C-alpha cells in the first residue's frame, strides 16, 4: 500500500490511538504474516468513530477477511444497539473470522454470510444506515449499483482503497495488469461523486477512502 503521507507519520498517528487489546494485535500480526488484506488500526478506529457518531444500528460490511474491521464495527455497534452483517467469499477466512468473533464476545452482534456479495446483496431485504466496502476493487462499481437501494436515507457509505496506490490519479504510471482495476475505480469514483443522492468526500487516508452520506431521498426495497 502506498500512503499519501510519510510512513513515519502513519506510525506516529498510530501511537496516538493507544495500545490495542491483545486480540486486535494478534489479528494484525497474523494478517501481516499471511499478507491478508485488513484495514490499518487508524482506519479501524475511524470506522468505529463513524458508527458511534452516526449512532448506526444496521451495519453492512462487504469484505470480512478474518474479521478485523468487523470487530471494530461490532464494538461500536455494541454501544449503539446495532448489529453487523458481513459478507465474504473466502470460506477459510470466514471460518477464522467466526472464531475471532466468539473470542471477542461479539458473536451475537454479527451475522456472517459466506458467498459472493454480488449474489447475496440482491436478496437482502433490509435497510442499512452504515455500509463499509473493502473487497475486490474491480467490483466496486457493481457493489455500488447493488447496495444503492439498501442504504437508508441519511445513511453512510464508506469505501476503502479507492485511490489504489495513487494510481487512480490521472497520469500515474500503472503496472499494466492493474489497468482494468484502476479504470474501474475511476468509474466508481466518478459515478459516486456525481450521484446527486449522495454527498461524498474522498480522503487521502491510507490507500484512499471515500465517505458518502445518502440524502433523504426515497429508498425502496
Q: What is the pLDDT of residue 218?
A: 53
How confident is the model over 105-160, as pLDDT tens digits?
A: 999 999 999 999 999 999 999 999 999 999 999 999 999 999 999 999 999 999 99
How confident is the model over 89-118, as pLDDT tens digits?
A: 999 999 999 999 999 999 999 999 999 999
Q: Residues 191, 210: contact at Cβ < 8 Å?
A: no
CA distances from residue 129 to 52, 61, 68, 154, 155 in whole angstroms, order as listed: 12, 11, 20, 7, 4
Count CB atoms within 10 A of the CB of residue 152: 19
Greater confidence (150 vs 15) lies with 150
The per-residue pLDDT of the chain, averaged, comes to 92
Q: What is the pLDDT of residue 140?
A: 96
pTM of the model: 0.93
What is the CATH class of 7-214? alpha beta
Amino acid at each position: 500500500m502506498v500512503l499519501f503521507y510519510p510512513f513515519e507519520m502513519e506510525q506516529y498517528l498510530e501511537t496516538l490511538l493507544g495500545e490495542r487489546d491483545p486480540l486486535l494485535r494478534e489479528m494484525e500480526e497474523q494478517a501481516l504474516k499471511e499478507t491478508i488484506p485488513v484495514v490499518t488500526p487508524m482506519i479501524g478506529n475511524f470506522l468505529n468513530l463513524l458508527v458511534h457518531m452516526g449512532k448506526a444500528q444496521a451495519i453492512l460490511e462487504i469484505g470480512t477477511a478474518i474479521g478485523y474491521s468487523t470487530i471494530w464495527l461490532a464494538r461500536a455497534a455494541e454501544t449503539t444497539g446495532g448489529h453487523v452483517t458481513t459478507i465474504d467469499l473466502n470460506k477459510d477466512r470466514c471460518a477464522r473470522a467466526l472464531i475471532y468473533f466468539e473470542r471477542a464476545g461479539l458473536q451475537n452482534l454479527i451475522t456472517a454470510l459466506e458467498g459472493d456479495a454480488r449474489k447475496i446483496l440482491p436478496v437482502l431485504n433490509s435497510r442499512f444506515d452504515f455500509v463499509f466496502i473493502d473487497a475486490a476493487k474491480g467490483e466496486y462499481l457493481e457493489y455500488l449499483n447493488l447496495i444503492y437501494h439498501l442504504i437508508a436515507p441519511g445513511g453512510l457509505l464508506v469505501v476503502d482503497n479507492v485511490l489504489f496506490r495513487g494510481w487512480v490519479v490521472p497520469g500515474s504510471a500503472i503496472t499494466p495488469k492493474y489497468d482494468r482495476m484502476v479504470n474501474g475505480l475511476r468509474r466508481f469514483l466518478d459515478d459516486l461523486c456525481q450521484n446527486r443522492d449522495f454527498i461524498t468526500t474522498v480522503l487521502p487516508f491510507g490507500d484512499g477512502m471515500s465517505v458518502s452520506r445518502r440524502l433523504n431521498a426515497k429508498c425502496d426495497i
